[in-house]
Amino acid sequence: MRSTLLAGFIGLAIAASTSASTSEQTVLGPALQNTNTNDHIQNSVKPKRRPLKGRFLHITDIHPDPHYKTGATFDTGCHRRSKDKKKGKKGKGKDVDYSEEDGQDIEDEIEIKGKDKDKDGVDLAGKWGTAVSKCDTPMSLVNITFDWLKKEWRDEIDFIVWTGDNARHDIDRSLPRTTNEIFKLNRMVVSRMLDAFGTDIPIVPSIGNNDIWPHNVMAAGPSRLTEEFLRIWSKFIPPDFSHVFERGAYFSAEVIPDRLAVISLNTLFWYDSNTLVDGCADHTNDPGALQMDWLDVQLAGFRDRGMQVWLTGHVPPHMGYYYDNCYLRYGDLALRYQDTIVGHLFGHMNIDHFFFIDVDELESTPVSRKSKVKSKKNFAPLTANLSSLPSFESMLAPNGPVGIFGAGDTLKDELKKDFEDMPDGKDLKLKDYVAINVAASVIPTYLPGVRVFTYNISGLGEEVNEDAFYKPHQLSEDIDEEDDEEEEDDEDNAIEVLKKNRRPGHRHDKKRKKGDCKKKENEDKPHCVFRRLPRYYDKNSPSRSNRALTPLGYTQFYLPKINKQSNEPPQWEIEYTTYKKDVLVPHPSNLTAQSQKWNQPPPIPLNLLPEYNSDQSVTASKDKLEKALKKITPWRMSDLTIPNYIKLSRKLVGDKGMWDKFQEIM
Ligand SMILES: *[C@@H]1O[C@H](CO)[C@@H](O)[C@H](O)[C@H]1NC(C)=O
Ligand SMILES: *[C@@H]1O[C@H](CO)[C@@H](O)[C@H](O)[C@H]1NC(C)=O
Ligand SMILES: *[C@@H]1O[C@H](CO)[C@@H](O)[C@H](O)[C@H]1NC(C)=O
Ligand SMILES: *[C@@H]1O[C@H](CO)[C@@H](O)[C@H](O)[C@H]1NC(C)=O
């Protein structure tokens, strides 16, 4: 205990003196990694050394659209002025490739530059992108995003999780996408990534439903598609995984060798819009089932090596999106390997939120892992109804953003109900829950966003401290129901909050009778699966308590002003963070002092904090800073462990102000 504290202070001293880095740790570019064995570091090329910062980037759904035109109307996907709005003389659009030449009025287009409505009050595409529209991401927005990432983050992060959709949508009937265009756009984004971050930061991409043609449908490989992505991502896919990738377009990468891995999942094999696959029934050759088998083996292997893993991919593991038996198997694996999985990161939705997968819900999923039946429970697709699209202003009005698209409403209501229905007090078992993070997208379905996570790097310094790392125990304690009693003490303050916000009358309050596992119809219910296969729960594992590799929090960055028609590029700003105020600027009364609690580089580089100015006299800026920090710290979580997610969900449904904020953030 004392030595940890001491190490903390030493870390603090170093951090204060260099003002940025604490620890040195070998990070290999993924291309150099041999990820399947333990002894790969010695004889490979001498790796580059970068100081670990304890931060990583999650970026998703970039959707670049080179056909995007400033001043175009929304109904063309922001490619042209639509015919029915504008009749007029032919334009002189030399660089404009109009496929519906008739009725184009390009002079108008030039004329309206600097406005976001035409003279009839019709909304038009903005220079930097068009928030809350169906339009994709203009190159100008791609550029300012990568310019900012390069400038502010190149030296501040350890690795990148990048969860797919790097091509435009297929919404313009007169300009259909082609396979080649999709590959080209993906290559373009890869080159932007490499330009921004170089090859010494591991980058872990995953495939999105719009990275293929036609979208959503993908068969098992090897195929032209998997071969081509293997080439496009050659710098990112460890060579050991090239055969696996050719077959399924998924792989693992050790972002901190022997310590931390990111698994890139191909969620399209589980996605129920993919009509070329057939779900995840056990003991089949369905590509979805084979990927689950592979994932099981990967997780077991990483667990044996005492490593921690992030599961990442495009389409989130939700029963609204996955084939039921895929959802069930994902849930089984997430719960079974909860001492090895530090978290789950997904994209696709373009809505910032989190949700839980929990045992009760899996118990009530109506199918078995063996069946191929799909129950219909889909959300409405997350796209705007163009003919009824309201103005940007009305979208941002109170109750605006999320309520507009049908799916947002459904999702919002569903989340609220889920959070409310969680059991109270001692009935809630931490081992029954995992939290899934879904990040906001770069494409401005609402406002463009990227996210920077922090994780605990204690023990990863120059002198590796093995004691800092969680060692999984060998036997599952989960076979009997009795051990549930043990959990009470580790639910400490989460439980306090739960009790405070106790509301009567949940369906979970009644202890549901669980089915007899000897009966065939129950054998795939989680309570029976966990009897056959160990569920590795440990309150000391990094997903449950703060220690080396535990996710500590994240900062959501966004571009609030993209609809301002200005030639000045809009600026990336902090939308909110999950942190407590005092870890951002540890001693607001003394801006030069480092945190004692936060013994690693600060969550957000100080120059990116609002109202932070190290030159200002402390007293003059203190109030302003306090206010600014308060505004960006609505959740005040001490870390992103499951107890704290449960606590947050409780607070969200227990406090109207918090729920309103949550909706706003979505
Ligand atoms: C974006 O950046 C690329 C490469 O730097 C440049 O060629 C292109 O003109 C830029 N596009 C826009 C719209 O700013
Ligand atoms: C889109 O909105 C229009 C106008 O509100 C409505 O008539 C139409 O049915 C909607 N279409 C869909 C697919 O919801
Ligand atoms: C990281 O974990 C260690 C325990 O291993 C703890 O002492 C330290 O405070 C944690 N760091 C942060 C920033 O929470
Ligand atoms: C602020 O903290 C630094 C470093 O701990 C210390 O040297 C300095 O004296 C402090 N300043 C004030 C005004 O307390």
pLDDT tens column, 550-601: 999 999 999 998 877 778 899 999 999 999 988 888 665 555 555 567 888 9
Do residues 156 and 605 lie in contact, with contact meaning Cβ atoms separated by under 8 Å? yes
State whether residue 385 is helix, strand or coil.
Answer: coil
376: Cβ contacts below 8 Å, ≥ 6 apart: none
Burial of 70 (0-12, 13-18, 19+ CB in 10 A): buried
* Closest C-alpha among 453, 576, 558, 543 to residue 159: 453
- State whether the beta carbon of 548 lies less than 6 angstroms from ligand 3: yes
Ligand 4: residue of 592, 594, 614 to mutate (most ligand atoms within 8 A of CB) is 592
Nearest ligand 3 atom, CA 600: 13
Residue type, 414: E
CA of 391 to the centre of ligand 4 (A): 51
Which atom of ligand 3 is found nearest the CA of 546? 2
* Residue nearest to ligand 4 atom 14, measured at CA: 590
Give the ligand with the smallest distance to the CA of 552.
Answer: 3
Rg of the chain (C-alpha set): 25
Which amino acid residue places its CA nearest to atom 12 of ligand 2? 385
* Ligand showing the shortest atom-to-Cα distance for residue 129: 1
Ligand 2-lining residues (CB < 6 angstroms): 385, 387-388
Ligand number, closest to the Cα atom of 469: 3
Which stretches of the chain score pLDDT less than 50?
A: 1-46, 85-115, 373, 375-407, 476-511, 617
Domain regions of the chain by residue span: 4-468, 581-632
- Name which residue sits closest to atom 14 of ligand 2, judged by CA: 385
**Per-residue pLDDT at 176:** 93
> What whole-number distance in Å separates Cα of residue 32 and Cα of residue 25?
16
SS3 (DSSP) at 434: strand
Pocket test for ligand 2, best of 171, 383, 387, 405 (most atoms within 8 A of CB): 387
The structure's pTM equals: 0.81
From 379, 388, 409, mutation site for ligand 2 pocket: most ligand atoms within 8 A of C-beta: 388
Instruction: Report how far ligand 1's centroid is from the alpha carbon of 134 (Å).
Output: 22
Q: Any residues with CB less than 8 A from the CB of 378 and at least 6 apart, and which? A: 272, 320, 321
- Most ligand 4 atoms within 8 A of CB, residue of 590, 595, 621 to mutate: 590
Q: How far apart are CA 199 and CA 48, in angstroms?
A: 10
Q: What are phi and psi for residue 311, nearest 5 degrees?
A: -95, 130
List Cβ neighbours of 606 (8 Å cut-off, separation of 6 or more).
585, 591, 612, 614
For residue 565, what are the contacts with CB-CB under 8 A and spacing of at least 6? 113, 114, 115, 116, 126, 127
Expressed in angstroms and rounded, the spacing between residue 542 Cα and the centre of ligand 3 is 11
The DSSP secondary-structure symbol of 447 reads S
Cβ count within 10 A of residue 234:
12
Q: How many residues does the chain have?
A: 666
Which tokens in the block code for residue 180?
């080649």
Calpha distance 175→68 (Å, rounded): 11
The token pair that represents 141 in the structure block: 């927005």
Which residues does 516 contact at the CB level (< 8 Å), separation at least 6? Answer: 522
Angle of CA points 324, 338, 654, to nearest 5°: 80
Residues 643 and 492: beta-carbon distance below 8 Å: yes
**Alpha-carbon 558 to chain mean position:** 14
Nearest bound ligand to CA 466? 3
pLDDT given for residue 20 in this prediction? 35
How many angstroms separate the alpha carbon of residue 593 from the centre of ligand 4?
Answer: 6
> Could you tell me how far CA 362 lies from the centroid of its own chain?
22
Ligand 3 binding pocket includes 4 (Cβ within 6 Å): yes
List the beta bridge partners of residue 619.
Answer: none
Q: What is the pLDDT of residue 3?
A: 36
Answer whether 458 contacts ligand 3 (Cβ < 6 A).
yes
Ligand 3 centroid distance, CA of 366 (Å):
41
Q: Quick one: which ligand is closest to 592's CA?
A: 4
Rounded to whole angstroms, how far apart are CA atoms 273 and 366?
Answer: 19
- Measured between alpha carbons, how far is 260 from 330 in angstroms, rounded to an integer? 20
Centre of ligand 3 to C-alpha 5, Å, is 9
Helix (H, G, I), strand (E, B) or coil at 650: helix
615 Cα to the center of ligand 4, angstroms: 14
d(CA 391, CA 47): 52
Tokens standing for 522? 């129950």
DSSP E strands in 559-638: the ranges are: 573-577
Three-point CA angle 63, 66, 68, nearest 5°: 90
In Å, how far from its chain's centre is CA 107? Answer: 42
Q: What is the pLDDT of residue 114?
A: 42
d(CA 663, CA 647): 17
Q: Is the Cβ–Cβ distance between 584 and 602 less than 8 Å?
A: yes
- Residues within a 6 A CB radius of ligand 4: 590, 592-593
Residue of 99, 39, 82, 132 lying closest to 389 (CA atoms): 132
